[in-house]
Amino acid sequence: EDDVQNASGGSGRSLEGHGGAVRRGAGDGAGGKVEVEVRGSCNGCPQAAQTLKMGVEAKIKEDVPAVTEVVAV
């Protein structure tokens, strides 16, 4: 779980430059599924879904191979 938080924090740093943020959601990561909360200017942005998949999810999966899916909550 800490590995996922560290990975999502690393990818989230690039979002901060745009006034956005991402943090680990309340889910337990069962079955490799991790929940994240999109915050700040990213919340409601039309590009948020693409950023989540191409940036945040890719970084988390790279750093934590047990993760198979990242979903926004």
- What is this structure's pTM? 0.73
Query: Which residue in 36, 45, 47, 33 sits closest to 12, CA to CA?
Result: 36
Is residue 1 predicted with pLDDT exceeding 60? no
Nearest-Å Rg of the Cα atoms of the chain is 11
Per-residue confidence (pLDDT) for residue 7, from 0 to 100: 61
What pLDDT, in 10s, does the model give residues 31-65? 888 888 888 888 888 888 888 888 888 888 888 88
Per-residue confidence (pLDDT) for residue 12, from 0 to 100: 59
- Grouping H, G, I as helix, E, B as strand and the rest as coil, residue 69 is strand
Per-residue confidence (pLDDT) for residue 5, from 0 to 100: 62
Report phi then psi at 2, rounded to 5.
Answer: -65, -35
